[in-house]
Amino acid sequence: MTFSMTRRSVLTGAAALAGSAALPLPAIAQNRPQLRIGANGIRNTLEPINAISNTGVRVSNALFDTLIKRDFFADGAPGNGTRLTAGLAESWERENDRSVLVTLRQGVKFHNGQEMTAEDVAYTFSEERLWGDEAIKSIPNGRNFSPDWDEPEIVSRYKVRLKTRTPSYQIEKFAASWIAWVVPAGYYSGLGAEKFGQAPIGTGPYKLLELRADDRVVLEPFDDYWGGRPASGELQFISVPEGTARVAGLLSGEYDIITTLTPDDMPLIDSRRDYDTRGTVVENFHMACFQQNLNTSLKDARLRKAIALCVNRPVLNEVLWQGLADVPKGFNFDFYGASYDPERAPFKHDPDLARALLEDVGYNGEEIEYLAFTHYYANHANALMMMLEMWNEVGLNIKPRLEGNGDNWGKVDIFNWSNGMQIPDAMATMVTEFGPGRTVQSRFGWDIPEEYAMLSGEVSALPDGPERFNKFNRMRDIFEDETPAMVLYRPYDVYAARSDIAWKPLSFEMMDLRPYNLSFA
């Protein structure tokens, strides 16, 4: 059943819970063009952490702001800058290895007209809302995507101290990440995470008009936005799962921007006078993950490693991405900064070693099922078809299962997945997804080696330097021996747009539609 909820229908009851007046009715954005974005999917919640996904963060970034801001365009960068700058925080001061004192920008308004204060920031990062045992029942990834938070301390109306229970030199980066979209304390706590996800209020440049599950999200400009008057009028994110339908819709004038294309789509669009493509390698990697709870034969690291050794990643890149994707040097990406090792060797391609491991493990052609989504991850179904040939050559019996959506995600022997790396540091996602108690252990059954678990804690507590660098490299060694997942590449993410729309994509999955990055000719 399709469920549609407007903010107007929720707020009558929500206002009493929140202790604030109901929001004003949407106003018509005069003299500003509508912007329609044809996307590969829409999340059914707008709670900013529960919406984290390739598709959800595009919308969340229009509704919410982070405490500290990563400036993707700093110093002339084309959309992949990593410098931290003022966001909702006017300034911040590192006090010691466990705390950062944040001074807030004054006069920032939420979409309901309420001023943002330290109370809202403290609640956003609190045990109650984000990382406590009760909180993760409604926000399962609140703890996974966090450092070892301690309860924030309200110092004054516009000052708040962010703290961790153990040393962390990454607090500032996490305060600029997707866990740091600030929410209004009273309104959120009155509704709870689920209802807030249907009627969200943030401080971002756009506010919600309507959420239609599996169909579209409709936003309107928030003209009291602290960062300046939004450039567009009504903003729509429309779910169009088929890439060919998105291209057709753009060229027919149905959409103004479309997402998640491949390099093969670029020549047709770029040949049209009024349209162009805009691509970038994103800070997200495609992979295949092993569901070891379901298929216990995959508990044997030798079988997992054999499957991965068959895959020729450079060939996948050339055929599917025209060489534009990034084939990594292990679990190791250049935007990691000081935790990146430029000298590390790439993941191995060694069919002979794969055959030896299969013989060693006693594999006799047992069927292993692999689920790939035909629409959600660009080119992944095509990658699976190519990998089937590579596996067949060594006698692996991998059965493809192609589906259009994620209903069976995580319920098949092997399944496609991706990880967005929410901070420019190797903790994402060597610790945040693959660390002890995180998703790959808790949901997919990886028996994490004791050494990997110990190192996860150590790198989380160390400052950048040779010791931390070497410990990350040891974690990479263990990862390659264990192969809890098969990392493929960072895709070259292609958008297309009308040529009169001045907008640049980021190297992260979200779209930035703030006034400095969106205008119309």
With respect to residue 221, please indicate whether it lies within any of the assigned structural domains: yes
Mean pLDDT of 468-494: 98
With respect to residue 253, please indicate whether it lies within any of the assigned structural domains: no
| Helix axes of 466-482 and 450-461: crossing angle, nearest 10 degrees | 150
Burial class (CB in 10 A: 0-12, 13-18, 19+), 109: middle
State the pLDDT at residue 14: 43
Q: Is residue 164 helix, strand or coil?
A: strand
Question: Phi and psi dihedrals of 249, rounded to 5?
Answer: -65, -35
Instruction: Determine contact, residues 370/399, Cβ cutoff 8 Å.
Output: yes
Res. 8: pLDDT tops 70:
no
Mean pLDDT of 106-120: 99
Statement to judge: residues 431 and 402 lie in one domain? yes
With respect to residue 273, please indicate whether it lies within any of the assigned structural domains: no
Res. 160: pLDDT tops 80:
yes
Total number of domains in the chain: 2
| Antiparallel, parallel or unpaired: β 235-239 and 35-39 | parallel
- Identify the CA nearest to 159 among candidates 118, 106, 98: 118
Instruction: Determine contact, residues 57/178, Cβ cutoff 8 Å.
Output: yes
Statement to judge: residues 69 and 91 lie in one domain? yes
Statement to judge: residues 400 and 461 lie in one domain? yes
Res. 7: pLDDT tops 90:
no
With respect to residue 115, please indicate whether it lies within any of the assigned structural domains: yes
CATH number at residue 382: 3.10.105.10
Contacts of residues 298-301 at CB distance under 8 Å and 24 or more positions apart, as own/partner, are 298/368, 298/413, 298/414, 299/445, 299/447, 300/361, 301/481, 301/482, 301/483
Burial class (CB in 10 A: 0-12, 13-18, 19+), 520: middle
Instruction: Determine contact, residues 469/339, Cβ cutoff 8 Å.
Output: yes
- Residue ranges of E strands in 128-274: 153-156, 159-163, 206-212, 216-221, 235-239, 257-261
- Identify the CA nearest to 430 among candidates 324, 512, 336, 347: 336
Residue 175 CA to residue 181 CA, distance in Å, equals: 9
- Identify the CA nearest to 418 among candidates 319, 502, 488: 488
Instruction: Determine contact, residues 458/294, Cβ cutoff 8 Å.
Output: no
The mean pLDDT value of the chain amounts to 94
| Helix axes of 380-392 and 313-321: crossing angle, nearest 10 degrees | 140
Res. 331: pLDDT tops 60:
yes
Q: Give the torsion through C-alpha atoms of 416, 420, 425, 427, to 10 deg.
A: -60
Domain that holds residue 349: 284-490
With respect to residue 267, please indicate whether it lies within any of the assigned structural domains: no
State the pLDDT at residue 3: 28
pLDDT digits (tens, 9 = 90+) for 292-326: 999 999 999 999 999 999 999 999 999 999 999 99
State the pLDDT at residue 406: 74
pLDDT digits (tens, 9 = 90+) for 66-105: 999 999 999 999 999 999 999 999 999 999 999 999 999 9
Structure confidence at residue 30 as a pLDDT band (50, 70, 90): low
With respect to residue 263, please indicate whether it lies within any of the assigned structural domains: no
Res. 25: pLDDT tops 70:
no
State the pLDDT at residue 407: 81
Residue 34 CA to residue 355 CA, distance in Å, equals: 57
Question: Phi and psi dihedrals of 385, rounded to 5?
Answer: -60, -40
Statement to judge: residues 62 and 209 lie in one domain? yes
| Antiparallel, parallel or unpaired: β 159-163 and 206-212 | unpaired
pLDDT digits (tens, 9 = 90+) for 413-468: 999 999 999 999 999 999 999 999 999 999 999 999 999 999 999 999 999 999 99
Statement to judge: residues 235 and 289 lie in one domain? no
Who's near 350: CB < 8 A, 6+ residues apart? 309
| Antiparallel, parallel or unpaired: β 89-96 and 206-212 | unpaired
State the pLDDT at residue 361: 98
With respect to residue 310, please indicate whether it lies within any of the assigned structural domains: yes
CATH number at residue 22: 3.90.76.10
- Residue ranges of E strands in 201-321: 206-212, 216-221, 235-239, 257-261, 275-281, 284-290
Q: Which amino acid is at 330?
A: G
Statement to judge: residues 507 and 455 lie in one domain? no
Statement to judge: residues 425 and 504 lie in one domain? no
Local structure of residue 307 (DSSP, 8 states)? H
Statement to judge: residues 201 and 317 lie in one domain? no
Residue 159 CA to residue 121 CA, distance in Å, equals: 9
Residue 114 CA to residue 172 CA, distance in Å, equals: 26
Statement to judge: residues 509 and 448 lie in one domain? no
Tokens of 301: 């690291």
Phi/psi-derived region of residue 207, left when phi > 0, alpha when psi is between -120 and 50, beta in every other case: beta
Res. 12: pLDDT tops 80:
no
Mean pLDDT of 114-138: 98
Res. 27: pLDDT tops 80:
no
Statement to judge: residues 165 and 75 lie in one domain? yes
State the pLDDT at residue 29: 58
Statement to judge: residues 428 and 505 lie in one domain? no
pLDDT digits (tens, 9 = 90+) for 332-375: 999 999 999 999 999 999 999 999 999 999 999 999 999 999 98
Mean pLDDT of 238-255: 97
Residue 456 CA to residue 463 CA, distance in Å, equals: 13
- Identify the CA nearest to 237 among candidates 252, 253, 222, 259: 259
Who's near 44: CB < 8 A, 6+ residues apart? 3, 211, 213, 214
State the pLDDT at residue 44: 94
With respect to residue 414, please indicate whether it lies within any of the assigned structural domains: yes
Q: Which residue has the higher pLDDT, 410 or 157?
A: 157
Statement to judge: residues 390 and 359 lie in one domain? yes
pTM for the full model?
0.92
pLDDT digits (tens, 9 = 90+) for 401-410: 999 877 888 8
Distance of CA 460 to the CA centre of its chain: 20
pLDDT digits (tens, 9 = 90+) for 226-246: 999 999 999 999 999 999 999
